[in-house]
Structure formats: C-alpha cells, structure tokens
C-alpha cells in the first residue's frame, strides 16, 4: 500500500528503540506488480527514485 506511512512508522519505532524493519527496503522481499499485466515491472528498483517514477508513469 503505497503512501500509507509504513516507512514513517518504521522510522519512528526505530527512534523509540524498537527493532522495526521496512519491508519495502529488504531486497528480494518486495516486488512491484503492474496491475495491467499482472507481471513485475521491468527495470524497477525501490532504491532508485527515477526508476520508480518511470515505472509509475507507464501505468498512470
């Protein structure tokens, strides 16, 4: 769920001393699927904002 605050919550929990992991940032665990095709986006890298923007622009 994009934009729901998962990363922000994870950061805050870490700031309070809790061990929390942002699942979007664990390589191999997160995959972005194109709703039109049901297949993963090509050239998608959660660590590269320009590739994320490019993948999203193909859909929207």
pTM of the full predicted structure?
A: 0.49
- Asked if residue 1 is part of any domain, the answer here is no
Distances (CA, A) of 11 to 4, 48, 49, 59, 60: 14, 19, 19, 29, 29
Number of domains in the chain: 1
Q: How far apart are CA 43 and CA 54, in angstroms?
A: 9
- Asked if residue 32 is part of any domain, the answer here is yes
- Asked if residue 48 is part of any domain, the answer here is yes
**Spatial contact of 30 and 23, defined as CB atoms under 8 Å apart:** yes
Predicted pLDDT at 37 = 86
Provide the domain limits for residue 55: 6-59
Condensed to tens digits (0 to 9), the pLDDT of residues 2-25 reads: 667 888 899 999 999 999 998 877
Q: How far apart are CA 35 and CA 13, in angstroms?
A: 32
């Amino acid at each position: 769920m994009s934009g729901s605050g998962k990363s922000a919550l994870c950061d805050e929990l870490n700031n309070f001393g809790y061990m929390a992991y942002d699942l979007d940032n664990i390589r191999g665990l997160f995959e972005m699927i194109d709703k039109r095709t049901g297949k993963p986006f090509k050239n998608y890298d959660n660590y590269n904002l320009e590739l994320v923007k490019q993948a999203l622009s193909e859909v929207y």
